[in-house]
A = this chain, B = another copy of it.
Amino acid sequence: MAGVSTATVSRALQSPDIVSKKTRDAVFAAVSETGYSVNTAAQMLRRNRSGTILVILPDIANPFFSKILSGIEEVATQANLTILIGNTNGEDERFANILENLRNGRADGALLLNGCAPPDGLLAEGVPVISISERVNNSDIPHVGTNNEEAAYDATRYLVSLGHRAIAHAAGPDGNTLTEDRFAGYARAMAEAGLDDKINRVPCGFSFGDGQRAARHVLAKHADATAVFCANDESAMGMIRCLQDEGYVVPDQISVMGFDDVPYASIFQPELTTVHQARNLIGKQAMRMLLDFLSDQPMPVSPTFLEHSIVVRNSTSEPLDSGFS
């Protein structure tokens, strides 16, 4: 090296201001000449910090997560943190393996996007964790996301404002907080509009195929419906596709509304009316909170909600008087 101790090299690199300009320059010169790069493993070992945060999600291919991820990345990069992505694929075993990264020191904290509580004992104690988008039931894990109840309420109110009365709700998968929150908002708006007797929860799910199946259910059992509010965009698209295949015109004969505003919502035909979530901001906010958490700042006890909005496109319109039957 260039005439100084390793201690000084370390100082020059980590806190340039505490060494003299002369040594600093010498060190930087030597570094760029030799192409030196600190050994992260040694650094991690000594500091007892990995400088990495773990992002746990159920399906990396789901476009819903991409903007959240880029928000997380932006903030993490600024803070000089690496992000490690763990893909559970909905499997408990994978989830457990991924959590291992928090015990063995590969990551200092985690962002949980899969809505599952870490199994007892698997979450290392005192490790900062924040849940995003999907709340974790019965836990005090800090949360960042959209107010799903409120957003579903707004969505339903929008359909009511168009003149719809028989509005069905194609609900998400069971045992999911998103499903319950969105149904609750729908039911509240219906009740408020004096439509208690029209409240109609159709079992559905979050996939395109689920939406198709739910459409057949609607056609078979609720032929008076003039609108369907679906629990997410994917299922709304499946719903529409099936209705079209059965010869119905959306929105002329039946309106369909989604939730999420995924990238594809504006490419699908008809373009989907949906609820927009501020996904990038959600990711950023969650990462910022995790940063605070890592530096032992107190966490908010109630969930942090970011603003949502109704995006009106072409899959909804005023109802025909008679319904579509």
| Interface-central residue, A35, A39, A208, by most chain B CB under 10 Å | A39
B73 close to A41 (CB less than 8 A): no
Is A87 positioned at the interface, with any CB of B under 8 Å from its CB? yes
Is A85 positioned at the interface, with any CB of B under 8 Å from its CB? yes
Tell me the A101-119 residues at the B interface (CB within 8 Å).
101, 103-106
> Copies per complex?
2
B82 close to A39 (CB less than 8 A): no
B45 close to A237 (CB less than 8 A): no
Besides A39-B105, A40-B105, A208-B267, 17 other CB < 8 A contacts?
Answer: A35-B103, A35-B121, A37-B124, A39-B45, A40-B44, A40-B106, A41-B41, A41-B45, A41-B50, A41-B105, A42-B45, A44-B44, A60-B69, A70-B89, A82-B106, A85-B85, A264-B264
> Chain A residues in contact with chain B, CB under 8 A?
35, 37-42, 44-45, 50, 60-61, 63, 66-67, 69-70, 73, 77, 82, 84-85, 87, 89, 97, 100-101, 103-106, 121, 124, 208, 237, 241, 263-264, 267, 269
Q: Which 9 A-B pairs have the closest CB atoms?
A: A61-B66, A41-B44, A37-B103, A41-B45, A40-B104, A37-B104, A40-B106, A42-B45, A85-B85
